Structure 1
Amino acid sequence: MRAEKETYDRDVAVTTDGLPDWLDPVVRAADTLEPQQLSRFLPPESGHGRQSAVLILLGEGAEGPELLLMERAGSLRSHAGQPSFPGGALDPEDGDPATTGPLRAALREAQEETGLDPAGVQLFGVLPRLYIPVSSFVVTPVLGWWRTPSPVGAVDLAETARVFTVPVVDLTDPANRATAVHPSGHTGPAFMVEGALVWGFTAGVIDRILHFAGWERPWDRAKQVPLDWRS
């Protein structure tokens, strides 16, 4: 599905004007974080990898600040069934991958996957590019404030199983946190929220944002959740 031309061609900018005070720690973290503070998986020096972007969209819900996530369809070839941020690969029409390309891609993909109205999103930060080895994606995480929320839901059930929001208070609740253990032996943070197990790249980025924003609460890192062998 392709976004509407008028939305696709809209000017994109990163600005912190008018953000709620509770986002200040996230803004500060975005300004100071080094790539290695976010992940040990960084883009190859060779330049190999497919350029992509994800939208980390924070808004205000009934329980306070919340994060928009989606669950990928179980039939997809890669990352099937995993909760994730909206996002995907850059298209040539998105523009320069080194400048505004990731901004446009993050908004375009979020609209295509969740149906949100990009006009209600204020982009306020860009995190360092990271790498997903299993799919060879070089990912630019784009931070957004959901200034004017719009209805969201799975646009194409062949790609997206569901779209949901998670209160930040649930993400910081120690009872909802664990260490995911992949059959390969790799371990990483996980969140058990809204009937979903969030792990992998998405959980890793959420974990680092909570930590560097000062929102993290002590949790039991010895509590383990085994992942299915097909993950």
Structure 2
Amino acid sequence: MTRQPPPWLDPLLARLGSARTEDFTRLATPESGGRESAVLVLLGEAAGAGPDVLILQRAATLRNHAGQPAFPGGAADPEDADASATALREANEEVGLDPASVTVLAELPKLWIPVSDFVVTPVLAWWHAPHPVHPREPAEVAHVARLPVAELVDPENRMRVRHPSGWIGPAFSVRGMLVWGFTAGVLSTLLDMGGWARPWHRGRVVELPPTGASPAPSAGSDEVDETALR
């Protein structure tokens, strides 16, 4: 299977050439310090279903971010060569993703999360050879899904959520998952940059269910928040 990204990715890749931290968050990333981390924004294409993105759902028993959908990812290890290596290693550990099946396309601007002092690099990649994935550690990951871009941009599936703290940010309700916080903020920005987003009712604000009321990262937020990635 070809490793050349499909034409539908061209507008996004062109736009990312001039992407800035400010496109994703209001918080400036410190010039030094912070715990380096990375997440994998993995775009694929299923036969007859169009483009999709890989999302995992954290286990409901976790102390932090229980049940919350997220990109695969986590903190960098000393042996990781770069952010891409961190993202691919974490995806392998969490859902069994074969790094050889992935073509890294770009490392997005670093995003700072104040409370945990994480500095997170979203890594955009093309899944040129998709294969089955599953939670490798059920105590940490409950579910893995490929969410179609067509469903993410469906106006009926888009909303904003209000955290009990008063924080408001974008969200997606797709296939039983409420995607919000850092993940939804990055997704929302990328959908806009790729030219895939459709007009939706931004006045639709729902209260975040108590089970999901862990702090939410500031990427894509309407109000600056303070939170941890994990």
If the TM-score is normalised by the length of the shorter chain, which range does it land in? Answer: 0.7 to 0.9
The answer on 1:224 being equivalent to 2:205 is yes
Provide the C-alpha distance between the structure 1 equivalents of 2:106 and 2:160, rounded to a whole number of angstroms. 28
User: Equivalent residue of 1:110, what SS?
Assistant: helix
- TM-score norm. by structure 2 comes to 0.87
Verify the 8 A CA contact 1:29 1:209 in the aligned structure 2.
Answer: no
* 1:72 maps onto 2:58 in alignment: yes
User: Residue type of the partner of 2:174?
Assistant: V
**2: CA distance between counterparts of 1:177 and 1:206?**
12
Mapped contact 1:131–1:138 kept (Cα < 8 A): yes
Distance in 2, matches of 1:223 and 1:59, equals: 29
Residue 5 of structure 2 is matched in structure 1 by: 19
Q: Where does residue 48 of structure 1 map in the other structure?
A: 33
State the Cα RMSD in Å.
Answer: 1.3
Q: CA–CA distance in 2 between the matches of 1:204 and 1:186?
A: 13
Could you tell me how far 1:141 is from its partner in structure 2? 0.5
Distance across 1 between alignment mates of 2:28 and 2:181: 14
TM-aligned CA deviation for residue 134 of structure 1:
4.0
* 2:83/2:107 contact within 8 Å kept: no
Q: Of the candidates 169, 182, 186, which is equivalent to residue 205 of structure 1?
A: 186
Taking the aligned partners of 1:200 and 1:133, their CA distance within structure 2 comes to: 14
Is the Cα–Cα contact under 8 Å of residues 16 and 108 in structure 2 kept in the other structure?
Answer: yes
Alignment of structure 1 residues 1-231 onto 2, 5 Å: 18-45=4-31, 47-61=32-46, 62-95=48-81, 101-229=82-210, 230-231=213-214
Q: Is the 8 A contact 1:43 1:49 kept in 2?
A: no
Identity %: 53
**CA shift for structure 1 position 102:** 0.5
| Alpha-carbon shift at residue 167 of structure 1 (Å) | 0.3
Could you tell me how far apart the structure 1 residues matched to 2:170 and 2:141 are?
23
Equivalent residue letter for 1:68 = L
Q: Distance between the aligned counterparts of 1:170 and 1:134, measured in 2? A: 32
Q: Post-superposition shift, 1:205?
A: 0.3
1:78–1:135 Cα contact (<8 Å) kept: no
Work out the number of aligned pairs and report it.
Answer: 209
**Unaligned stretches of 5+ residues in structure 2:** 215-230
Normalised by the length of structure 1, the TM-score is 0.87
* Secondary structure class of the residue paired with 1:119: helix
Residue 50 of structure 1 and its aligned partner are, at CA, apart by 1.1
Unpaired runs of 5+ residues, structure 1, are 1-16, 96-100
Please give the alpha-carbon distance, in whole angstroms, between the structure 1 residues aligned to 2:67 and 2:114: 18
